[in-house]
Every structure is written in C-alpha cells, then in structure tokens.
Structure 1
C-alpha cells in the first residue's frame, strides 16, 4: 500500500541544508497499522507529507498504491490522494461554514464515493446522532476530532494517515477517540500510518517504528518509555 525506498529529504536553512530524512526504507501493507514515533522535530510530519504526496523527496522513491508519487504531476497526485487516502491531523481542519452532516459528507463527495448507509452508520458510531445540523464551533473538542475522523473514513480509503490525531485532547477523551479510530480502521480494512509521540497511543497498533536523526528503527524499551 505504501513504500519508501531510500528516501531522503533536506530543507534549506541559513546555516546550510538540514537533512530531515536519510535513506528511509518503509513498507506498509494493506490493512496493517503502523505507529511512527520520535521526538519533536525528528521528521515524522515530513515523512507523512511525503507519504501523502504533499511534498516530494530529494532522492529515493515513494510509492502509494503501487504508483511512484514523484513521477506524477500535482493534479495527478491530488487525484491519487482523493481516491486512496484519508487524512486526520491534530488540528481538526473542519469547514466552519458546513454543518456536521455536510462536513462528514465532504470527502466522500469529492471522491465520488458517498454512501448514505455508511454515512448514517458513521453518524451513529461517532456519537453525533442528533447533532447533524450543528456547526463545528458548537461541538466539543472530542466531537470535532471524531467528526474529522469520520470525514476521512467516509470514502472508505485504502490508507489513513493520522498526524497526532489525539494530541489536542485530554487523556480520557483521547482514549475514547483512539478506540473509535482503530475500530473504524479495522472495520473498513484500510491501512493506518499514525504519527505519535505517545507510547500509550502507539501500543495498540500492529507495529511501531522510531525516527531518530532522520533514520528509522524498531524502538527499544527505553525509546518507548520516553518518546
């Protein structure tokens, strides 16, 4: 579903190029869940942006659903994202002018894959029944994040990319949202790549990798404890 082959990425700084990723190899199979851990500034979000085709590597290759992202022009990358990916971020990125139901429908409509029965099931499972006509500002933080997750999964994507999806929530709410996210991912059969600094959040996923100085490794017990 997702593959990185010797991927490197650097950014220009006044002091010279700053290497963020160095010869990263990564493979994520269909239906598999993977937690990407690491300290702040370790390159986790950069890796996620490369996976989504929002940025391109300096060298190496990123393949999404069997297609080399670097070989595609931006319109084709946007189409591939729309057809293949769901995206969930720490910031909810809901459309303030749309109500709950229309926010939920948005991604599925753009992908041309809206299913009323699945929309109704999502509303119920997200705990948003009766709130369909409310606007994002009228929801709690937990409700907004559940809505953002539902919007990403409404088209039933092949791969969900999640960047610190519970980072803005208190611990109890975060646990509830994480349980819901993992249940929906499991039921839809999509793969999941989640960026998190929290070992507790990473623990239920199939695999965990740690990003340090631009390189990936299986985390040690000490890294799990302090990431």
Structure 2
C-alpha cells in the first residue's frame, strides 16, 4: 500500500542542509499497522508528509498504491489524498462551523464515497449517538478526537496516516481512543501508519520502527542501542 525506496530528504538551515531521511526504505502492506517512533525533531512528521504527498523527496521514490507520488502534479496528488488517504492529527482539525454529523461526512463527500449507513454505524461506534447536531466546541477532547478518526475513516480509505493521534488526551482517554482506532482500522481493512513518541501507544500495532539518525531501525534494535 505504501513504499519508500531509498528516500532522502534534507531541510535548509542557517548552518546548511540538515539531513532528516538518509536512504529510508519502508513497506506497509494493506491491512497492516505500523508505529513510527523517534525523538522530537527526528523527522517523523517529515516522513508522514512524504507519505501523504504533501512534500516530495530530494531523492528516491515514494509509492502509494503502486503510484509514484513524485511523478504526479500537485492537483493529482491532492486527488490521490482525497481518494486514498485518511488523515488524523493531534490537533483534530475539525471544522468549527459544521455539526458532528457534517464533520464526519466531510471527507467522504470530498472523496465522492458518502455512505449514510456507514456514517450512522461510525457515529454509534464512536460513542457520538445523540450528539450529531452539536458543534466541535461542545464536545470533550476525547469526543473530538473520536470524531476526527471517524471523519478520516468515513470514505473507507486504503491508507490511514495518524500523527500523534492521542497526544492531547489523558492516559485513560488515549487508551480508549487507540483501542477504537485499531478496531475500526481492522474492520475496514485499511493500512495504518501512526507516528507516536510513546512505546505504550505503539505496542499494540503490528510493527514498530524508530527513526534515528535519519535511518529507520527496529524498535528492538533501538532499545538495544539505548541500553548499551
């Protein structure tokens, strides 16, 4: 579903180019989940932006569903995001002027795949039944994040990208939201790439990788290096 082939990326700084990805290889199959961990500033968000086609690699190739993203014009990348990606952010990014139900339906409408029955099921599964007419500011933080997850999954995307999706929640609420997210991902069969700094949040996912010194290594190897 998602593939990085020898991907390089550097950011310009006053001191010169700063390499954040140095020949990164990554494969994520349909229906599988992958946690990407690493210290703040290690390049996790950069990798996620490349996966979404929001940025392009300096060298190497990013492929989404077999399509090389760098070969597409910006309008084509935007269409690919609408049709193939669900995005969940730490800051929710809900539309304040839309109700719970309209926020949920938004991405599905943009993708041209609105399904009223699936929206109703999501509302129930998200614990938002009876709140369809409320606005985001009338919801708790946990409810807003569940709504953001539902919006991302409403069009049944083949790939879900999540950037610290539980970072703004307390530990108990974060656990509940993560359990719901993984359950819905499993049921829809989409692939999940989740950025997190928390080993506890990463633990239930199928695979765990750490971005360290601009390269990807297994979480087990990272733990060995940290303890040596």
- The TM-score, its normalising length taken from structure 1, stands at 0.97
Answer yes or no: is 1:63 the counterpart of 2:63: yes
Cα distance in 1 for residues equivalent to 2:199 and 2:11: 28
Match of 2:107 in 1: 107
- Segments ≥4 residues shifted beyond 4 Å: none
CA offset at residue 126 of structure 1?
A: 0.3
Cα distance in 1 for residues equivalent to 2:212 and 2:158: 28
Distance 1:171 1:117, change over 3 A: same
Cα distance in 1 for residues equivalent to 2:79 and 2:86: 12
5 Å matches for 1:99-138? 99-138=99-138
Match of 2:188 in 1: 188
Match of 2:93 in 1: 93
Aligned partner of residue 16 in structure 1, secondary structure: coil
For the 8 Å contact 2:166–2:177, the answer to whether it is kept is yes
Match of 2:16 in 1: 16
Aligned partner of residue 12 in structure 2, secondary structure: strand
CA offset at residue 28 of structure 1?
A: 0.4
Compute the RMSD of aligned alpha carbons: 1.1
For the 8 Å contact 2:210–2:222, the answer to whether it is kept is no
CA offset at residue 219 of structure 1?
A: 1.4
Match of 2:211 in 1: 211
Distance 1:208 1:174, change over 3 A: same
Match of 1:202 in 2: 202
Q: Which moved more, 1:214-223 or 1:186-195?
A: 214-223
Match of 1:78 in 2: 78
For the 8 Å contact 2:166–2:174, the answer to whether it is kept is yes
Cα distance in 2 for residues equivalent to 1:79 and 1:199: 34
Aligned partner of residue 122 in structure 1, secondary structure: helix
Match of 1:43 in 2: 43
- The TM-score, its normalising length taken from structure 2, stands at 0.97
CA offset at residue 39 of structure 1?
A: 0.6
CA offset at residue 220 of structure 1?
A: 2.3
Cα distance in 2 for residues equivalent to 1:195 and 1:183: 18
Q: Gapped runs of 5+ residues in structure 2? A: none
Matched positions, count? 225
Cα distance in 2 for residues equivalent to 1:221 and 1:68: 30
Cα distance in 2 for residues equivalent to 1:178 and 1:64: 24
Q: Which moved more, 1:213-222 or 1:38-47?
A: 213-222
* Deviation sequence 1:141-179 (CA, Å, 0-9, x none): 000000000000000000000000000000000000000
Q: Gapped runs of 5+ residues in structure 1? A: none
Answer yes or no: is 1:142 the counterpart of 2:129: no
For the 8 Å contact 2:162–2:192, the answer to whether it is kept is yes
CA offset at residue 222 of structure 1?
A: 6.2
Cα distance in 1 for residues equivalent to 2:130 and 2:24: 46
Match of 2:162 in 1: 162
